[in-house]
Structure 1
Amino acid sequence: MSVQIENKNVEKRAGNSPEVKVEFGLLDPRTLLVETNVRTEANLTPRFLKSIRDNGVLIAILVQRTEQGLRVRAGQRRTLAAIEEGLETIPAMIVQGDEDQVRRIREQMAENDDRQGLRHADRVAAFEQMSLLGVSAVDIANTTGHSTSDVQAALTVAKTKKAKAVQAKYDLTLDQAAVLAEFENDTEAVKALTEIAIKSPDRFAHAAQQRRDDRDAAARLAKAVKALADAGIKQVTNWNTEVKDNRAAQELDKLQTGEGKTLTPEGHAICPQRAAYISTSWNGDIHTRHVCLDYKAAGHKLNRTNVNDTRTEQEKQAASAERAEVITNNKAWKSAETVRREWLAQFAKRKSAPKDAANFIAGSFTADTHSIEKAGSGAHALACEWLGLKTTGGWGSRQALNDLIAKATPARALHIALVLALAAIEERTGLHTWRRPGTESRYLRALEVWGYNLSDVEQIARGPQETPACPAAKQTTPKTAPTTNPAPAAPATKSGAQPKADNPAPVTNPAKVASPGKAATPNKGQAKPQVPTTTDNNAVKALEKPVLNPTRATTPDAGAATEEGAGKRQPVVPKDQKQARSAQPAAAGSR
């Protein structure tokens, strides 16, 4: 069925003479000839096929009448998808054809290049409108081809004023906007995370997890403070001025009763000078240190069994700085572990492995034998979790894995083997990993090549030495070997000026500042993205970056060598190893 109309503008756009009529009709897609197209692949994604199946072809294709038959000039994907889904007819605009190949290429490029997809904010608004019309999240997902979790996240964003406004202004991704919705009541967090989403999107997931950890720790701290108040115990808010520098004050573990008995918090409950100081450790645990603000007036005496600290003031300061670094990096590692394992869980769902997976697996049989054996004795619990196997462990887990492998294609089976190896290595990681740079270098470099964005503390764990993850990621040795003496001066630029970091982040010890990676900048002629103005200079301070190992390698590209930074501080090492280290001769250069 077709209808002829006269439209000179349409004819001119189609490249035909005005005298020829244009036809609009419903055509059987199986009868059409698909013309050579600038698209080398049709890329019929499941979402696109579902849209064609549910909605049909909404925009008419362009068909040219030739001696061979009706030939598709524009609308190749719609035509092939309609055939795939078994549609009987599709709408088409029919014009007279010609053999002008230059015009064919020009029109096909224009039809594909001049499209503009929906902004993330537009998609959120559309889901919100459908929800207000009474459509459930499940039905929205089914009819639009999006996942239910994405629709639910969009509806959550739509209900939060700040997240919705920020996404509309900067068109953040749905995942980023959903995270901002978590911090709706924390204006400072929303500003800081928005800035990171715009300037350094690769850091966003790690920064958000650190925010969550800090928020949870703050909640536990508030609970402990309330418990002190309910018990009528005074809270010490400044340890240095109220206890350390106060000769009259002492911790209970350094005191005895007048009769020489050990002084406990329970036994100190009736003392009018009782107080307590609450602190939070790197992992969020709350510690309460009970003190007596005037032990002599209260009738207590010092516990003389305590050994005096014979360290010099310089040694005490060095130990304090080292401990601060350990606390900062331990905290960052736990946050990074959460993000990394979430990424690995998604990575495990892939249907095929990366092209260099076989090399990594083969290397794991020699480099990670003990870890694989240990994971096997535990029935590969972490791997089963990532692979979505609901098992109780032991024989049941092994059987579930065997069943999964038996049903898998060869490509999927290779990926399952890779997941088993990765899970085994991941299970052995911990706080010790970043303290011994290079121990997991092969593992972390592989994740980096496969698309995972290493956090700063994970880059410390990756280490400076040459440990290729696989043949595709060629690394080099550093030009200068690490020394025990940190050199704070940064290398000079060609002009002799010292380079400046784009986004310096505060660390626990200001004397140990690392240089973060540069933020992406717009291309020439491209509008500079707007960044929310933060009136509080401490807006990003809560996102405390780990103290970096400046000799870390840059993110490896396939086949590209990396140079290690020189003249920067080294990670904390055990004291028994510090004196054993000595300066190494400089390498001749990268290879």
Structure 2
Amino acid sequence: MSVTLENKNVEKRAGNTPDAKVEFGLLDPRTLLVETNVRAEANLTPRFLKSIRDNGVLSPILVQRTEQGLRVRAGQRRTLAAVEVGLEAIPAMIVQGDEDQIRRLREQVAENDDRQGLRHADYVAAFEQMSLLGVSVVEIANTTGHSTSDVKAALTVAKTKKAKAVQAKYDLTLDQAAVLAEFENDTEAVEALTEIAMKSPDRFAHAAQQRRDGRDAAARLAEATKALADAGIKQVTNWNAEVKDNKAAQELQQLQSGEGKTVTPEAHAICPQRAAYIGTSHNGDIYTRHVCLNYKAAGHKLNHAKANDTRTEQEKETARAERAEVITNNKAWKSAETVRREWLAQFAKRKTAPKDAANFLAGSLTADTHSIEKASLGAHGLACEWLGLRTTGGWGSRQALSDLIAKATSARALHIALVLALAAIEERTGLHTWRRSGSESRYLRALEAWGYNLSDVEQIARGPQENSTACTEKKADALTSTASPQQPEAKVANTVKTTSPATDRDEQPAKTGVDSTNAAPAKGQPAPNPTKGKPQTAGNTTGAKPEPGKRQPVKPQAEKAASAPQPVKA
């Protein structure tokens, strides 16, 4: 069936004379001739095939009448997809053919160049309207070819005024906009994360998680502060000035009553000199230290003589700075661990392993045997979690893994084995990992090559960056054509001055803001330059080797820029 229309407004453009008559019809795609196309591959993705199967071909293809038959000139991908899914008829615009190959190529390039996909903000608007019309999340996902997680993210953004406005302006991804929705009431966080999304998208997940952790820490701090206020206890805000350097003040655990009894917080409740300090431990936990601001006036005695601190002021300040750095890096590591394990859980869903998976597994069987054995004794709990196996541990977990492997293809079975090894290595990591440069070099380099974006603190555990060209080639070779996390841009490690371990307790007021390692630059300041801060071979600018066995803590971006070598002026 076809309809012929006459074009009375024919113009000659670029040497082409359009046909005065254009015929439209429904054609059987199996009978059409598909000529050579500028596209090297049709790229018939599952999502595209599903769209053609569910909705048919919505835009007519361009077909030319030739001596050999009807030949597709524009719409090769739609035609092949229609054949693939079994459509019997597709709409077409039919014109008289010619042998002008230059024209054919020019038209094919123009048609593909001029196509513009929907913006992420357009998806938000479309899914929102479908939801308002009563279409469920699952139905929206099934009919549009998007994942349910994408649809949920879009609907979350649609409900938040600030995130929706920012996404419409900058066209952030659905995932990024959904994160902004979490911070709807925190304007500073939205602005900082938006800037990171635009300038350093590979840092976005880590920056967002640090914001979440900082928010949670602030909530715990507020709760502890309120508990002190409700109990009528004065809060010490500067431990060094009010307690450590104050000869009259002392922590309760160092005191005893006049009768020689231990002074507990409960027994000290009636003392007019009672106070308490809320601090942050080396692993980021909030703690409370009860003190007496004038223990002699209160009638208390020391358990033992108070040792004199013989350190100089500069040594004290250095120790405090080191301590603050430890707390900052520990917070950064805990945030990075959350992001990394979420990424690994998605990585575990792949149907095939990366090309170099066998090499990594072979290395793990020799270098990580203790970790693998320990994970096996624990019934591979973390691996089961990543693989989506709901088990209670022990024999049940092993049986679930055996059943999963029995049903898997050879490619999937290799990937499951890789997940088991990765989970075993991951379980041995912790706050201690970042304290020694290169402590998990093989593991983190592999994750980086497979598409994971390392945070600054993870780059310490990875060690100095490899040659950028070799690293890029390795990453491209490792990634397969199967669905996997997005490949990141190359990053460089930050090698900074080493410090010695600090004590387990903080001597600074608790800080609950975001780790400045991944914070966005302040207004009016230039964005961090990713080309700066590349590691030296020896770890410093003087050629001296760093002391072995000591960690290399992360410094804030501003400090890195300030400490970078400056060019000598003529």
**Is TM > 0.5 for Structure 1 vs Structure 2?**
yes
In the alignment, which residue of structure 2 is the partner of 1:166? 166
Mapped to 2, the partners of 1:131 and 1:325 lie a distance apart of 48
TM-score (normalised: structure 1): 0.79
Check 1:317–1:16 CA distance in 2 against 1; reply closer, same or farther (3 A cut). closer
The CA deviation at 1:571 is 8.3
Q: CA deviation at 1:5?
A: 0.8
Aligned to 1:49: 49
Further displaced range: 100-109 or 296-305: 296-305
> Closer, same or farther in 2 for the Cα pair 1:93/1:471, shift >3 Å?
closer
Instruction: Return the alpha-carbon distance in structure 2 between the equivalents of residues 534 and 483 of structure 1.
Output: 28
Q: Structure 2 matches for 1:296-335, cutoff 5 A?
A: 296-305=296-305, 307-335=307-335
Aligned to 2:345: 345
Is this contact kept in 2: 1:435–1:571, CA < 8 A? no
The 3 A distance-change label for structure 1 pair 260 and 127 is same
Q: 1:552 to 1:433 in 2, by over 3 A?
A: farther
Comparing both chains, which one has the higher relative contact order based on Cα–Cα distances under 8 Å and sequence gaps of 6 or more? 2
Q: 1:256 corresponds to which residue?
A: 256
State the Cα RMSD in Å: 3.6
User: For residue 58 of structure 2, what is the amino acid of its counterpart?
Assistant: L
Specify the code of the residue in structure 2 equivalent to 1:316.
K
- Deviations along 1:283-309, one digit per CA (max 9) or x if unpaired, are 442211111122222222233255544
Amino acid at match of 1:242: E
Deviation at 1:40, TM superposition (A): 1.6
Q: Distance in 2 between matches of 1:64 and 1:280?
A: 74
SS in 1 for 2:40: coil
Deviation at 1:248, TM superposition (A): 2.6
Corresponding letter in the other structure for 1:259: E
Look up the match of 2:541.
567
Asked if the contact 1:459–1:552 (Cα under 8 Å) also holds between the matched residues in 2, the reply is: no
Within 2, Cα distance between the matches of 1:137 and 1:483?
A: 51
Q: How does 1:275-286 map to 2 (within 5 A)?
A: 275-286=275-286
Q: What's the secondary structure of 2:474's corresponding residue?
A: coil
Cα distance in 2 for residues equivalent to 1:77 and 1:564: 54
Q: Distance in 1 between matches of 2:288 and 2:208?
A: 28
**What whole-Å deviation, never above 9, does each CA across 1:339-359 have from its counterpart, x for those lacking one?**
111111111111111111111
Change (3 A) 1:388 1:564: farther
CA distance in 1, matches of 2:223, 2:499: 43
Read off the aligned partner of 2:378 and give its amino acid letter.
Answer: G
Aligned residue for 2:229, secondary structure, equals helix
Compare 407-416 and 160-169 and name the one that shifted more: 407-416
Map 1:486-565 onto structure 2 (within 5 A): 534=523, 552=535
Instruction: Give 3-state SS (helix, strand or coil) of 1:92's partner.
Output: strand
1:11 Cα offset (Å): 8.5
Aligned counterpart, 2:369: 369
SS in 2 for 1:399: helix
Shift of 1:56: 1.1
1:552 Cα shift? 4.8
The alpha-carbon distance between structure 1 residues 256 and 128, as it changes in their structure 2 partners (threshold 3 A), is same
Tell me, in whole angstroms, the C-alpha distance in 1 between the residues paired with 2:148 and 2:126: 15
Amino acid at match of 1:78: R
Aligned to 1:85: 85
Measured after TM superposition, the shift of residue 392 of structure 1 is 1.9
Distance in 1, matches of 2:46 and 2:178, equals 25
Q: What displacement does 1:176 show? A: 0.8
The structural deviation recorded for 1:319 is 2.9
The aligned runs of 1:64-463 (5 Å cut-off) are: 64-305=64-305, 307-463=307-463
Distance change in 2, residues 1:326/1:298 (3 Å): same
Distance 1:125 1:110 in 2: 29
Amino acid at match of 2:413: A
Q: Deviations over 1:66-111 (max 9, x none)?
A: 1111111111111111122222211000011122222111111111
Report the identity percentage: 82
Query: Per the alignment, in what secondary structure is the counterpart of residue 246 of structure 1?
Result: coil
Query: Equivalent residue for 1:492?
Result: none
CA contact (8 A) 2:193 2:204 kept: yes
Partner of 1:472: 474
The answer to whether the 8 Å contact 1:446/1:469 transfers is: no
Q: Summarize the Cα distance change of 1:337–1:386 in structure 2 as closer, same or farther, 3 Å threshold.
A: same
SS in 1 for 2:261: coil
Contact 1:63–1:95 (8 Å) recurs in 2: yes
Q: Tell me which residue corresponds to 2:564.
A: none
What is the identity, as a one-letter code, of the residue corresponding to 1:236?
A: V
* Distance of aligned partners of 1:278 and 1:61 in 2 relative to their CA distance in 1, 3 Å threshold: same
Q: Matched residues in 2 for 1:216 and 1:176: separation?
A: 20
Question: Whole-Å Cα distance in 1 between the matches of residues 250 and 331 of structure 2?
Answer: 29
Contact 1:249 1:294 survives alignment (8 Å): yes
Deviation at 1:136, TM superposition (A): 2.2
CA distance in structure 2 between the aligned counterparts of 1:482 and 1:15, rounded to whole angstroms: 64
Equivalent residue letter for 2:143:
T
Give ranges in structure 2 of 5+ residues lacking alignment. 478-491, 501-508, 510-515, 552-570
Residues 1:61 and 2:35 aligned together: no
Cα distance in 2 for residues equivalent to 1:244 and 1:483: 28
Aligned counterparts of 1:103 and 1:405: Cα–Cα separation in 2: 54
AA aligned to 1:85 is V
Tell me, in whole angstroms, the C-alpha distance in 2 between the residues paired with 1:283 and 1:347.
28
Residues 314-372 of structure 1: per-residue CA shift (max 9 Å, x gap): 44333333222221111111111111111111111111111111111111111112112
Match of 2:566 in 1: none
Query: 1:18–1:118: structure 2 CA closer, same or farther, 3 Å change rule?
Result: closer
What residue identity is the alignment partner of 2:214? D
8 Å contact from structure 2 (residues 348, 387) kept in 1: yes
- Contact in 2 for aligned 1:120/1:174 (Cα 8 Å): yes
Q: Deviations over 1:531-561 (max 9, x none)?
A: 99848x8x99xx9xxxxx97758xxxxxxxx
Structure 1 SS opposite 2:541: coil
Provide the C-alpha distance between the structure 2 equivalents of 1:133 and 1:364, rounded to a whole number of angstroms.
53
State the AA in 1 paired with 2:121: A
Which amino acid in structure 1 is aligned with residue 299 of structure 2?
G
Change (3 A) 1:516 1:110: farther
C-alpha change, 1:415 and 1:14, in structure 2 (3 Å) is: farther
Q: Which runs of 5+ in 1 are unaligned?
A: 487-507, 509-514, 520-530, 544-548, 554-562, 577-591
Change (3 A) 1:65 1:448: same
Q: Per the alignment, do residues 417 and 340 of structure 1 end up closer, same or farther by CA in structure 2, a change over 3 Å counting?
A: same
The one-letter code sitting in structure 1 at the alignment partner of 2:333 is W
In the TM superposition, what is the alpha-carbon distance from 1:14 to its structure 2 partner?
Answer: 11
